[in-house]
Structure 1
């Protein structure tokens, strides 16, 4: 989809979830960090809530109907993002994560841009997402990319819901 800097954004083909080039380790890092930020830290992926542990153990099954985008550098996954299957001309961006060593290189922006392009190609009219309110940098990124805060569709406390037209 895109290739600049030394990082390529590609659609994950659903290889073995344990592959170094796959999303499992990135999803684990995302969920472990999120649990810690919520004040519910766990030692490893085995301690994650069932639904999140399932994503880490078998992303191919967890996201069977969705598109997983990966940012890779030298064959190693360094960023990921999930675009849900369209429903009523809407889709959702989930699990945006860039490995800490690769932050500040525009990888998250590239992943979101690739997700928006995929959504447009799929006939989606609106892309939405939710982000924890304490993730100010992520909220600022989404606002720079044209997302605006909207009414919540998720009852979880401290979650900011955003959307934008494609």
Structure 2
């Protein structure tokens, strides 16, 4: 079967992805090896695995026809954990995220190493904020779940 690390979320938390046979074998092996917790996730796709290549190819075709500008602030790629400094790098990263492992721990460490001290999570929930806490307890972490929350947080920055 096919299986690979889909997400290196934080110390002690990895997510794997693949086909059913690969996942079942990996979960058995991890349990036998003494993994503290092995939990199957209820998902409908094998995200961040080679099984997503057809979707990656279709996405790349769409991205190639989309106007993208080079970033004016540093953007860290999740699969490379490196700054994306060109339009070509952004296009490649967006496509690679479908089939490649998300290196969240290394991405956050790269930002901390570059001097980032505050992380703001936009969207529903605070899962990523919790992961940042497990990566760097000294980081300021803020979860903003709606437009009112964003306005309120932005007001604290003035």
Band of TM-score, shorter chain: 0.3 to 0.5
- The structure with more strand, counted as a fraction of residues: 1
Of structures 1 and 2, the larger Rg is shown by 2
Please give the TM-score of this superposition, normalised by the length of structure 2.
0.33
- The structure with more helix, counted as a fraction of residues: 2
